[in-house]
Structure 1
Amino acid sequence: MTKLTMAVVGTGVIGNGWIARFLANGHKVIAYDPAPQAEEKTRALLEDIWPTLERYGLAGNASIEQLSFADELADAVSGADLIQESVPEREELKKQVLYTIDQHAPAEAIIASSTSGYMPSVLQEACEKHPERVVIAHPFNPVYLIPLVEIAGGKQTEARFIEKANAIYDQLKMKPLVMSGEIDGHIGDRLMEALWREALHIVNDGIATTEEVDKAIVYGPGLRWALMGPFLTLHLAGGNEGMKHMLEQFGPALKLPWTKLVAPELTDELKQKVIDGTTLQSGDVSISDMEHRRDRFLIKLMQLLEEEGFWPSERVLAYERPNV
């Protein structure tokens, strides 16, 4: 892949994750964040996770030295091929930042927002010059390892910029998911939020602790979802007739009032239950140690999926049945 210049605006958890992925794939990165000590924090994180990225696989020309910080937003984006906006989730702030980016970025540069909630049609309203190159490119933490990036265009987005974005993220060892339309929260976050709401109800009602909820996912559906996702998982639940039988057999259960779709009130009592529960679960292990353990696991899991030939999950590929 041709070496590109990537601008990252906002260097929080997601912005720094993008910086790491861009650098690991051999690209030049110009970052901008007005927060005090932003550069020091970013470079400290990179030094910490670079050995992990080396295990995952670096491009031949990958180097932390290809990162620089700009003093002004205009300087960060003026020569960029792709601008990854990752500022906090506040609509007016994002629109203000995107307006400035649009004023100074090259006309053919892609402006990609990492937003987890807003639709591209809403955000591109702020761009007076070239709203046609604004897309959503929503990643998942840790961005430097998790391959999914949800790509969506708005009402003014031109198809060629969606295609360009798809090609760039694909060559960054990602699994771009180009959405057929746009919706608040996109796809992954809406599904996770539904599960999160139900989990909060279960803890709030005293049915289970946070540890028990996590066990219910980790040792059960989570193992299957890593391979197939909810639809193919249920396709197998129907036996030889697949989804047809599953819907006939279990479809009526959808009418049963098992789940609570409305979020519970986040009272002080519920907050404390969740805080106490996760504190007990993590014990004396630091967040940093848990992140390193998570990253090692993710690398092994993705390697396993690669070996089994199950990328991409939307099409099940043929494989040789092992002799057992």
Structure 2
Amino acid sequence: MSAPTPAPCSPEDVRRVACIGAGVIGGGWVAHFLARGYDVTAWDPATDAEDKLRRLVGAAWPALEQMGLADGASQDRLTVTATLAEAVADAQFVQESAPEKLELKRSLLAELDAATPPGVVIASSTSGYPMTDMQPPHDAAATPQRLVVGHPFNPPYLIPLVEVVGGERTDAAAVEWSSRFYDVAGKSVITMDRELPGFIANRLQEALWREALHMVAEGEASVADIDASITEGPGLRWAFMGPCLTFALAGGEGGMAHMLDHFGPSLKSPWTRLEAPELDGALRDAMVDGCAEAAGDRTYADLVAERDQGVIDVLRATGRLGGDRR
């Protein structure tokens, strides 16, 4: 591997971010970076991408105003370019959010590596692929060491978490730089020590999701029961305390040690089924119908607004409604 090219500026000095891919995740990143006071250039190959992107940003802006905009934050600081090369020409950081197709990711990252100024870190929003799998072949990317994963949660303009990890050919300095940049940009950062398919949070929520599918498939619980079991139960604790510390408190003054000694044998009980069930037509219909029943007369826009307000309220109630950390 060739020697890493020094980053052209410090994370604190970044002023222009390029977002490649302007769908739900990419558009959410655009809204977040604009709210944090950055100039943003965006590119997406879809012919109607700009209209959709500006609508997404406009819809997100009221929530972002509630959270507190950075000095100079404005939707007018968004430029949508005609080509990928134009989008990254002056970028000081690049966030790629293309669809989850491995070959597409590889070819796009190679194209970004060729077009982006030397030393500028390129981060992928992939929700599951390790960067080692996405890094283009040696003959397709001159500087794969600047490619990292910056995995957000939807919507990126509201959910603070971003998981950062490099691949086998990623330079440690690029991972460190990226983690610091996301922190400066107002995100809550987990810098992973090693690659893990699905990363951390997705693997945890996937386990819960698979068990939910099993219960619906077996007629053991309804969609409404499953959702209520979280929103009215452990979800209220998880908003401010993770499952490990929550379980530690279950051990009383003895903490996690007592909890494990007391409840450890229950791990052998048949409480969960971690293999995914067959997603057949019946299970699919049950999930779709259950969610439609739960939504009632609320439209998609109504549900998005309700979700956004709920996240804001939880963040405010738990003292985590962060302002600009730059």
TM-score over 0.5 (shorter chain): yes
Q: 2:192 aligns with which of 179, 182, 187?
A: 179
What does residue 50 of structure 2 align with? 39
Instruction: Name which structure has the greater RCO, CA cutoff 8 Å, separation 6+.
Output: 2
The whole-number CA distance in structure 1 between the counterparts of 2:14 and 2:76 is 14
What does residue 8 of structure 2 align with? none
Residue 181 of structure 2 aligns to a residue whose secondary structure is helix
C-alpha RMSD over aligned residues: 1.4
Residue 146 of structure 1 aligns to a residue whose secondary structure is coil
Q: Does 1:105 align with 2:116?
A: yes
What does residue 82 of structure 2 align with? 71
The whole-number CA distance in structure 2 between the counterparts of 1:169 and 1:177 is 10
The whole-number CA distance in structure 2 between the counterparts of 1:154 and 1:304 is 37
Residue 235 of structure 1 aligns to a residue whose secondary structure is helix
The whole-number CA distance in structure 1 between the counterparts of 2:321 and 2:172 is 34
Contact 1:9/1:32, CA 8 A, preserved across alignment: yes
The whole-number CA distance in structure 2 between the counterparts of 1:121 and 1:299 is 35
Residue pairs, 1:112-127, within 5 angstroms: 112-126=123-137
After superposing the two structures, state which structure 1 stretch, 68-77 or 110-119, moved more.
Answer: 68-77
The whole-number CA distance in structure 2 between the counterparts of 1:105 and 1:308 is 34
What does residue 144 of structure 1 align with? 157
The whole-number CA distance in structure 1 between the counterparts of 2:188 and 2:153 is 11
Stretches of 4+ aligned residues off by more than 2 angstroms? none
Contact 2:14/2:93, CA 8 A, preserved across alignment: no
The whole-number CA distance in structure 1 between the counterparts of 2:66 and 2:231 is 25
2:145 maps to a residue whose letter is: E
1:70 maps to a residue whose letter is: T
Give the TM-score normalised by the residue count of structure 2: 0.92
Residue 242 of structure 1 aligns to a residue whose secondary structure is helix
Residue 103 of structure 1 aligns to a residue whose secondary structure is helix
Change (3 A) 1:119 1:3: closer
The whole-number CA distance in structure 1 between the counterparts of 2:57 and 2:238 is 30
1:75 maps to a residue whose letter is: E
Q: Deviation of residue 44 (structure 1)?
A: 1.1
Residue pairs, 1:11-26, within 5 angstroms: 11-26=22-37
2:295 maps to a residue whose letter is: S
Deviations 1:199-234 (A, max 9, x none): 000001001110000011111111111111110010
Deviations 1:43-102 (A, max 9, x none): 112122212111111011111111111111122112211111100000000111101000
What does residue 313 of structure 1 align with? none
The whole-number CA distance in structure 2 between the counterparts of 1:240 and 1:284 is 47
The whole-number CA distance in structure 2 between the counterparts of 1:3 and 1:81 is 6
The whole-number CA distance in structure 1 between the counterparts of 2:320 and 2:213 is 36
Q: 1:300 aligns with which of 293, 313, 316?
A: 313
What does residue 190 of structure 1 align with? 203
Contact 1:3/1:28, CA 8 A, preserved across alignment: no
Q: Deviation of residue 307 (structure 1)?
A: 6.7
What does residue 298 of structure 2 align with? 285
Q: 2:268 aligns with which of 241, 248, 255?
A: 255
Q: Deviation of residue 15 (structure 1)?
A: 0.2
Contiguous gaps of at least 5 residues in structure 1: 310-324
After superposing the two structures, state which structure 1 stretch, 152-161 or 299-308, moved more.
Answer: 299-308
After superposing the two structures, state which structure 1 stretch, 13-22 or 28-37, moved more.
Answer: 28-37
Contact 1:80/1:105, CA 8 A, preserved across alignment: yes
After superposing the two structures, state which structure 1 stretch, 294-303 or 214-223, moved more.
Answer: 294-303
Q: Does 1:226 align with 2:224?
A: no
Contact 2:67/2:321, CA 8 A, preserved across alignment: no
2:78 maps to a residue whose letter is: L
Residue 138 of structure 1 aligns to a residue whose secondary structure is strand
Q: Deviation of residue 125 (structure 1)?
A: 3.1
